[in-house]
Chain A
Amino acid sequence: MADNGSQQRELLYCHACANEWYRHQHGLQCPSCDSEAVEIIEERSDPRHNHVDISDDEDEDTVMGNNDDRLPHNPLHRHNPWRDNAPDPDEPDIEHVEWNPAPGVHFARTSFRSTGPGMRPRPQDPNDIFAPLFQSFSTILEGAANAGRPPLRDDPPRAVSQIHRPAFPARNPFPEHQHHHIHHHHGPWDGQQGGRSVFTATGRWPPNGPGPFPNDRNGQNVQNVLATLLQTMQAGMAEQRGQQTPVAANLPAFIAQMLGNGAHGDAVFSDEALDRIITQMMEQTNTNSAPGPASAAAIAALPKKQAEKSMMGQDGKAECSVCMDGVEIGDEVTVLPCNHWFHGDCVGAWLKEHDTCPHCRQGIMPKDGPQQADAPRSPGQAPRHTLNPFMNPIDPNVNPGTPPSPGSGPNGINNQPPMPGAFIQPGMQQPYVPGGYPLYPEPTNFVRPPGQHQGPYSQPPSLQQQQRHRRRSATSPRSSNGGEGSSGGGGQGVTGWFRNLRGGNGGNR
């Protein structure tokens, strides 16, 4: 070893011509090509690994610190599998993969890892360093074998230590169907000199195996198995990197995220992962496009009014739909441009976060005008936000308070969503609609005010219909076209009818 005068014994490497020489002999300039692009070869930073030229130097092994493997013709002489981040093609990472066809797919993977002698400091007991890695590898495999389980939309990236078996007590749907065998074989370079690890992972796909699991998943099986294998392989690669770098502490989280997502970087391995990413993007987009708060000035400027008899339900009762407290005649309420009313504090608390009516989801801020308007829109003005896809925006040319003329068909009431329970009393100039609940005993007892559309009373729309709407509204949150609803049989508002009905609200303008 070059313990004495190590500075003079420093080995230099020329990046231009791959020449190597000792510093004390030729200095810091390449004696061969006069290049100054040279680097001192150190144990931790060896620039030669990118170069295939491994011409032997008589004294080099003293730098490498080993004399016992000086086999000039050994092709693995100086081979360091940990040098590269990418797996070395010479290294049989995947020894074999066994697939056992349906009903489940069995796969097994064995990988051999060699650590070259003396390439990095090793602790006295190699098990100390391997034990946590084995543990995480085992967890990885468990995660991989379960990777087909769809991720939750709101599933946060899980740390390895948090990956757990499904917690259906006493009837674990994922019994012991995966087996991890990880052996650490001490090779010829054991102890200080390196080691050889054999990782064998077997699993079965689908994890549930035959049984009540959907048979039609077979179509996904190959895909999922591939995804699982890819994940396992990548996990192995990541682990190699982890052994090489001191930042291995981040590794479990990285792997967990990768496996938990069924995705690695820009690559996704399963439909669920793709769906998850799309959902995530949609959520992020929604965060950006979701209505922000209404301005404090506009909230403060909302008209207030004393509750009056016409605002009560048929049984003479009404309540604020935010706090669900009853509202008596004479109580002060705040009226939104959409004519829904609430307690001032209640609706203010909501509006300062979301510029939507708590009931019909139309905003109070004017569509046109400054972003920080200090006054709410007038009832005839289009809202900046309307998240209710079942409701057309208000046509400013139409007095929203005017009930449709008798006999007008569903098409004639586009500006007047005929939601059951709309409190449009005959002769009422400005129908106030309680945002609260007129306390009807049963939704089916809704009585359509006279003069409303004559179409057949709509059945609650199917969930299918509603969910279709929901989808559309999710992709286009500001979509204000309630067109499809008009095919639902009872005018445009059938889905909204259901929504409002289920929301327990009678009122909708």
Chain B
Amino acid sequence: MAQKRIVKEYSELQKKPLDGMRISLPSEADMHQWQILIDGPKGSPYEGGVFTLHLSLPTEYPFKPPTLSFKTKIYHPNVTNDDKGSMCLGMLRADEWKPSSKIEAVLSFAKALLLEPQPDDAVEGGIAREYKENKKEFIKNAKAWTKQYAKK
């Protein structure tokens, strides 16, 4: 079931791409690993940058949630600032996942999180605190990182 549904979701997203996102398969032979390029949303400090994400779909998909990670370094409270770049998405947690969630929804959610970080649900406490207490500084840093790491 996984393969069929993944193929279907992939082709749907190719047919009707999400705004500001480009999806590709690093390896045509492996439908379970997707590469996603997301443009930094307009109005966010990530504007002007392009962020590479990696979506990994388990073999049990859709009965097990996919995982989403940033390959491009990003200054964001909800993305771990390490080599993994894991993004904290509630709907991807094992206990919150449901099979009817689609990849399109996951990606939309990820993009929404770029527009509206969730400092209360952060994985980067320092960045979250800055976001809440010193937004100006946060924006400055996020822009600097975008410029440094997410150049087009």
Contacts and interface: CB of A to CB of B under 8 A. Distances in A.
Contact of B82 (A152, A271, A470): A152
A350 interface: yes
Secondary structure of the A side of the interface? loop
Nearest to A271: B125
A503 to B, nearest CB: 5
Given A323-B4, A502-B105, A463 B63 contact: no
Contact of B141 (A214, A324, A505): A214
B144 A212 contact: yes
A363 to B, nearest CB: 12
A353 B94 CA distance: 12
Given A216-B129, A275-B125, A464-B118, A149 B95 contact: no
B120 A503 contact: no
Contacts of A9: none
A503 B134 contact: no
A272 B9 contact: no
Interface residues of A, number: 57
B86 interface: yes
B100 A505 contact: yes
A305 to B, nearest CB: 19
Contact of B63 (A153, A212, A349, A468): A349
Interface string A144-165: 0000011011110000000011
Contacts of B35: none
A321 B116 contact: no
B81 A322 contact: no
Interface stretch (B19-27, B36-44, B107-115): B107-115
A149 B81 contact: yes
A278 to B, nearest CB: 12
Contacts of B4: 323-325
A229 interface: no
Contact of B125 (A150, A168, A324, A435): A150
A34 to B, nearest CB: 64
Contact of A216 (B8, B84, B90, B133): B133
B123 interface: yes
Contacts of A473: 96
A150 B99 contact: no
B62 interface: yes
